[in-house]
Structure 1
Amino acid sequence: MNYVLPFLYFSSFTSSVSMFNLVGLLIICLTGGADASIGVNYGTLANNLPPPHQVAEFLLHSTVINRVRLFDADPQILQAFANTGIAVTVTVPNDQIPHLTNLTSAQKWISDQIQPHFPSTNIIRILVGNEVISTANHLLIRTLVPAMQSLHTALVSVSLHRRIQISTPHSLGILSGSTPPSSAKFRRGYNTQVFKPLLSFLRATSSPFVVNPYPFFGYSTETLDFALARPNPGLIDRHTKLLYTNMLDAQLDSVYSAMDKLGFSDVEIVIGEIGWPSEGDKDQIGVDVSTAAEFNKNVVARVDSGTGTPLMPNRSFETYIFALFNENLKSGPTSERNFGILRSDLTPFYDIGILRPKVRSSNPENNPGSLWCVAKSGAETVALQRNIDYVCGLGLDCRPIIEGGLCYLPNTVKAHSEYAMNLFYQTMGKYKFDCDFENTGEITTMDPSYGNCEYQV
């Protein structure tokens, strides 16, 4: 991760309320998660993590995750994933990049780090460094593409170049002029000298351009809903007139625009890191377990939805959630150590749609008996109306609270909101955070059903 991530500001707001389209995405959550392109970053800067073989077994048998990105080429971890079929991406540490411009050194690296594990471990990609451009280290930047070329040549020499890709991940600090997305371009001095040869290499080797978009690092109090893909006014790109209802779409389209200006719009984009922390410093808003679950669940749900972005419609993105575990040995702010989706005992902090059904059903939090989600006493009407708009906008069945429906009367915002909130809570798996609704919902053991109006349970 790199903190220098520009938020994408726009010049004009739309007048109508829009939101990130989760219709269809919800189906993926309900059927167990994405099945082809969802991965996770497996960082190890912690002193309380389970053994790698337990991690591999858990991912294989208890989740739908079929891709893992490592931040090195640890032989113990690579061995742990042998014969699992899980696609593994390894990383060359930044400090090794200059040495790998030498072909002999690159061949030795492949011989030592890759060949002992391949093909029993399904290594699909080697990432050379991590966010190298953002380091501003001229030696690393100058040797990045030559090192990638040497490693590819080394793969060719052992006939692995058609099985293993070479790429490198970037923070959004590579962009300038990204307001709005259609005007984005690569930073001056790097566009033709670094990114043109880099993208040429990626195109020639059928490898992806890997980016690490983090709405978390780009939001403010005013743009939190936009970052989380909650109902928000929406933002217009004044050049294309396209509507953006969430920050991730805007970030991805900015990357696409920069690539397109150099003539490389055909190169695939992979999301190498994306996530939201469950704990932060006291002055941070929107940093808690509920918000992290909401953000990551939306990301997982959209991975294979095929909805794409305004500039890249009907397109899915191979995506790696950051991260598998909290890493208590990391430096920096509190949030940096709390991106994990699993505890060290391999139980989830929250389910984002990656657990297999039998695991989800065995989670005590998911089987609490007869519980319902209702509105808190004193919740403001405008907030409750937002809850109705949000739930019904997802495509869930709100017909009972439409005029003539069994739950239409009493015709009040509170009554309709409670029906919608409970519908969402039950549909999404009865997790506590799915009844939060910006602190307007609470769970009750008393059935709110009445007359012919039955609340789902």
Structure 2
Amino acid sequence: MATGFISMFSSILVTLILFCLASSMLFRGVGGTIGVNYGTVANNLPPPAEVAHFLLESTVINRVRLFDANPDILKAFAHTGIAVTVTVPNDQIPRLTKLNFAQQWVEDNIQPHTPATNIVRILVGNEVISTANKLLIGSLVPAMQTLHTALVAASLDRRIQVSTPHSLGILSNSSPPSTGKFRQGYDTHVLKPLLSFLRATNSPFMVNPYPFFGCSPETLDYALFRPNAGVFDEITELLYTNMLDAQLDAVFSAMKFLGFDDLEIVIAETGWPSMGDSAQVGVDAKSAAEYNGNLMRHVTSGAGTPLMRNRTFETYIFALFNENLKPGPTCERNFGLFRPDMTPVYDVGILRPTARSSIPNYPKSPSPTNSAPRSSKGKKWCVPKMEADDNALQRNIDYVCGLGLDCGPIQEHGACFLPNTVRAHAAFAMNAYYQSSEKKDYDCDFEQTGAITNIDPSYGKCQYES
């Protein structure tokens, strides 16, 4: 009798622990995922419904950041499962400090769309500290606190985080990275209370690092993740081989100085333009493809940075589309991954193979890991379905590799290790099993997570058996 009770109690306890872990993963930002900033400062963009369908069906993007709370866009993303971040414009921040306004804002902009639309985060303004507007800066943390209170009242606080993105202008020093500090005055009066709020609500610190704006002809290779001599931090004796790591570690050092090195860092914006003015360095489609392709591989690899080892970073590329009405130099209108007709400006590995094969004259990536797919008549391969989740795909990898089939190519340093994602590794493993069988449709079922394709998934030195 006692043994049965203990067994039952243990079972309930395990269930509760698993539920808590699942809830934590559901409501927290998932590290290492790639999102995109969906800006709308243009007069030639496709309707939101088409954009949502395109992202869901044709790309691997699973997170979107909006610069407002446009109801048409929020409706368009309903039932897609794509994680959506919305923004309260800067000019509304002072009003948001009043609870009745915050509650009305949530009622008008969030509640009509959740849970159908997967709203995961609300950003209070954008780069507020860099505006130097005393009213906005003084209102920032109170507005975040009041908005969180409104979410608690609406029982949405466990589903939706509150944060705000910062430019690197919040740093008074960033070189070498270990000496990174926040600007005096803002550090204790604004950023310390802000970081305390983020810690209390389990929300991330968000930054907008742009190596593009920090590089020169001499540091272009360093900014683009190309082979280079690197930059040595004499204090930590660590070598930096790319500018993004140095920027992130400078932010980390500033947070650590205030005692907040335990917080997650999210890259809210980063990108590279494909076109610019003649005086600008490295402004072309090849450089943009290099930066964004290398960026995605780096932040999802699990390597982390010299000061933040073994981390992945939730990252939002700027931007989804070229926006023809943005003011400023030419480059400002050419940060998009896609043109308004939803054709890619360059190949960065975001389109699904089936989508790539349907685009005439599809641009070839300069990176061998992202070369265009090849269709082979009569041959078939087994790949994961678009809707298959990572947990199911990991089980497929474990099953296939456990049978003794050759999984060496998806091990570290193997030809198919990069991109280091569950989906990519599962594709190789599932196809290896399929090719070793009788190649019947049911050999690619994998509990309804596999699909047959005639598009060769091979790329660069990674060759899929056929």
Does TM-score exceed 0.5, indicating one fold? yes
2:285 corresponds in structure 1 to 289
Q: CA deviation at 1:366?
A: 5.2
Match for 1:79 among 75, 86, 92? Answer: 75
CA distance in structure 2 between the aligned counterparts of 1:343 and 1:203, rounded to whole angstroms: 39
Equivalent pair of 1:289/1:349 in contact (CA under 8 Å)? yes
Equivalent position SS for 2:126: coil
Question: How far off its partner does 1:179 sit?
Answer: 1.5
**Using the alignment, how far apart are the partners of 2:363 and 2:118 within structure 1?**
36
Q: Is the 8 A contact 1:35 1:64 kept in 2?
A: no
Aligned to 1:427: 460
Counterpart in the other structure of 1:329: 325
TM-superposed CA distance for 1:426, in Å, is: 6.2
The alpha-carbon distance between structure 1 residues 307 and 36, as it changes in their structure 2 partners (threshold 3 A), is: closer
Distance 2:273 2:308 in 1: 28
The aligned amino acid for 1:133 is I
Cα distance in 1 for partners of 2:95, 2:88 equals 11
CA positional deviation for 1:318: 0.2
Shift of 1:362: 3.1
Aligned equivalent of 1:313: 309
Q: Unpaired runs of 5+ in structure 2?
A: 1-29, 369-411, 416-457
Residue 360 of structure 1: how far off its partner (Å): 2.4
- Secondary structure in structure 2 of the residue aligned to 1:41: strand
* TM-score, normalising length: structure 2: 0.72
Q: Which whole-Å CA distance do the structure 2 matches of 1:367 and 1:271 have between them?
A: 27
Alpha-carbon distance between aligned partners in 1 of 2:363 and 2:228, rounded to the nearest angstrom: 33
1:304 aligns to 2:300 (yes or no):
yes
Distance 1:173 1:75, change over 3 A: same
Structure 1 residue aligned with 2:101, among 100, 105, 108?
105
Give matches, 1:304-453, under 5 Å: 304-365=300-361, 427=460
* Distance in structure 2 (CA, Å) of the matches to 1:221 and 1:43: 29
Q: Does 1:250 align with 2:283?
A: no
2:172 is equivalent to residue 187 of structure 1: no
Query: Structure 1 residues 303, 52: closer, same or farther in 2, change over 3 A?
Result: same
Per-residue CA deviations over 1:372-421 (Å, capped at 9, x if unaligned) read: 9xxxxxxxxxxxxxxxxxxxxx9687xxxxxxxxxxxxxxxxxxxxxxxx
Secondary structure at the counterpart of residue 222 of structure 1:
helix
Residue in 1 that maps onto 2:376: none
- Matched-pair contact (CA < 8 Å) for 1:123–1:164: yes
Which of 214, 221, 236 pairs up with 2:217?
221
Structure 1 pair 305–35 and aligned structure 2 pair: CA distance change class (3 A): same
Separation of aligned partners in 2, 1:360 and 1:200: 45
CA contact (8 A) 1:300 1:353 kept: no
1:28 equivalent in structure 2: none
Q: Which amino acid in structure 1 is aligned with residue 84 of structure 2?
A: V
The answer to which of 160-169 and 298-307 deviates more is: 298-307
Runs of at least 5 residues in structure 1 that lack an aligned partner in the other structure: 1-33, 373-393, 398-424, 430-457
| Native 8 Å contact 2:34 2:315 kept in 1 | yes
Structure 1 ranges of 4+ moved more than 2 A: 360-368, 394-397
Q: State how far apart, in whole Å, the 1-side matches of 2:150 and 2:188 are.
A: 26
2:86 alignment partner, SS class: strand
- Any conservation in 2 of the 1:329–1:337 contact (CA below 8 Å)? yes
Look up the SS of the partner of 1:153 in the other structure. helix
Q: 1:164 aligns with which of 160, 164, 167?
A: 160
Task: Specify the alignment match of 1:387 in structure 2.
Answer: none
- Do the aligned partners of 1:36 and 1:66 also contact (CA within 8 Å) in 2? no
Give the TM-score taking structure 1 as reference length: 0.73
In terms of fraction of residues, the more helix-rich structure is 2
Give per-residue Cα distances to partners, 1:128-179, cap 9 Å, x unaligned.
0000000000000000000000000000001100000000000000001211
Residue 210 of structure 1 corresponds to which residue in structure 2?
206
Contact between 2:42 and 2:325, CA under 8 Å: does it hold in 1?
Answer: yes
Question: Residues 162, 208 of structure 1: CA spacing in aligned structure 2 closer, same or farther, 3 A cutoff?
Answer: same
The amino acid that maps onto 2:100 is T
Q: Does 2:197 align with 1:201?
A: yes
Q: Deviations over 1:256-292 (max 9, x none)?
A: 0000000000011000000000000111120001110
Q: 1:61 to 1:426 in 2, by over 3 A?
A: closer
Q: Per-residue CA shift, 1:418-451, capped at 9, x if unaligned?
A: xxxxxxx96189xxxxxxxxxxxxxxxxxxxxxx
| Identity within the alignment, % | 70
Letter in 1 for 2:144: M
Moved more, 228-237 or 353-362: 353-362
When the two chains are superposed, the root-mean-square deviation of aligned CA atoms in Å is 2.0
Q: Which aligned pairs between 1:232-251 and structure 2 lie closer than 5 A?
A: 232-251=228-247
What is residue 124 of structure 1 aligned with on the other side? Answer: 120
